Amino acid sequence: MSTVTVSESEAPTTLAIRRPAAGTRSRSTMNDLAINNSAPATASAELINLVVKGMSRGPIAPELQIVVDAGHAIAKGPMVMPTPAGIAEAGRLVRLPEGSAQEQAVRDFLHAFLPVNRQLRELCTAWQCRPDGSANDHSDAQYDASIRDRLDDIHSAVSKMLRRAGKQAPELTEYRDRLGVALERFDDGDTASLTSPLTDGYHTVWMWLHQHVLMMLGVTRAEDEALEEELVSGSSR
């Protein structure tokens, strides 16, 4: 997501990367990546997941180590981040065929999603700050409840969009489930998770969804921001 007041899963895919020969540590090119539909938890799924999330923190799984060895990610202490080559390869792996029914469904989703994306950004700002600019200390239950009601409307809207798009692009349906889990967590008292970048909270999962959709369509962030502004401005006339 573009400009927000907070920082920007497993990607539902079964793509895999060929492992290097035993005893070698290959610096593969992008052509060393291959599709293997029989492997449910694969290295290319790790690559896509890494690029969607932007980084990974914690122990490096064997599949993710393959991504690092291939030169598609770099490990810095407990963090792993995609390289430009990795970002390009993940984009190639998830890019939908131009002119296909799948691409049209996801493009339609993006056009419906972006105005709601703006609404969520504004809601996150309202959750963090009062209208006068002061920090929201969450002492005003009525104010917080009004924001929660707005979140219901946003969640209902995006759930319907994902249900429709998921008929052609089933990899998006998992995000509907993830957003539902994040909303339950928020309602169970983990209110910081709405906007915290440190958890799989609502805003974080939303941003992963947004990034995955852009990758599927080959849309840049600049193009995305311009389209959102155009759609929001047009709807306000």
Q: 152 and 70 in one domain? A: no
pLDDT in tens, 93-116: 999 999 999 999 999 999 999 999
Kindly write down the DSSP assignment for every residue of 131-184, as one continuous string: TTS-B--S--HHHHHHHHHHHHHHHHHHHHHHHHHTTT-GGGHHHHHHHHHHHH
Q: What does the DSSP 8-state code read for residue 129? A: B
Q: Which has more confidence, 158 or 22?
A: 158
Q: Is residue 53 a part of any domain in this protein? A: yes
Taking the CA atoms of residue 101, residue 107, residue 109 and residue 115 in that order, the dihedral angle to the nearest 10 degrees is -160
Contacts of 62 (CB under 8 A, 6+ apart): none
Above 80 in pLDDT, residue 137?
yes
Residue 3 within any structural domain of the chain: no
Confidence of residue 192 (pLDDT cuts 50, 70, 90): confident
Mean pLDDT for 195-220 is 95
Instruction: Count how many domains the chain has.
Output: 2
Question: Is 90 within 8 Å of 215 (Cβ atoms)?
Answer: yes
Cα–Cα distance measured from residue 139 to residue 147, given in angstroms and rounded to the nearest whole number: 13
Quick: pLDDT tens for 165-179.
999 999 999 999 999
Same domain, 183 and 221: yes
Task: Say what the pLDDT of residue 218 is.
Answer: 98
Q: Domain limits at 141?
A: 101-235
Residue at which a domain ends, from 94, 112, 129: 94
Between 67 and 7, where is the model more confident? 67
Which residues neighbour 98 within 8 Å (Cβ) at sequence distance 6 or greater?
A: none
Are 88 and 111 contained in the same domain?
no
The type of residue at 134 is S
Say yes or no to pLDDT of 32 above 80. Answer: no
Residues constituting the chain = 237
Check residue 11 and give its pLDDT.
Answer: 36
Range name among 7-21, 57-71, 90-104 with the lowest pLDDT average: 7-21
Which of 31, 60, 94 is where one domain is finished? Answer: 94
* Position 9 in a domain: no
Paired tokens of 234 = 């047009």
**Mean pLDDT for all residues in the chain:** 85
Residue 84: strand, helix, or coil: helix
Q: Assign residue 51 a region: left if phi > 0, alpha if psi is -120 to 50, beta otherwise?
A: alpha
Nearest to 29, CA basis, from 77, 79, 69, 75 = 69
Pair (120, 205) in one structural domain:
yes
Q: Quick one: 193 and 173 in the same domain?
A: yes
Query: Which of 69, 94, 119 lies at the terminal end of a domain, its last residue?
Result: 94
Catalogue the long-range contacts made by 183-187 (C-beta closer than 8 Å, 24 or more residues apart): 183/151, 183/155, 186/151
Q: Do 24 and 110 fall into the same domain?
A: no
Q: Assess if residue 178 is contained within a domain.
A: yes
Q: How far apart are CA 205 and CA 11, in angstroms?
A: 11
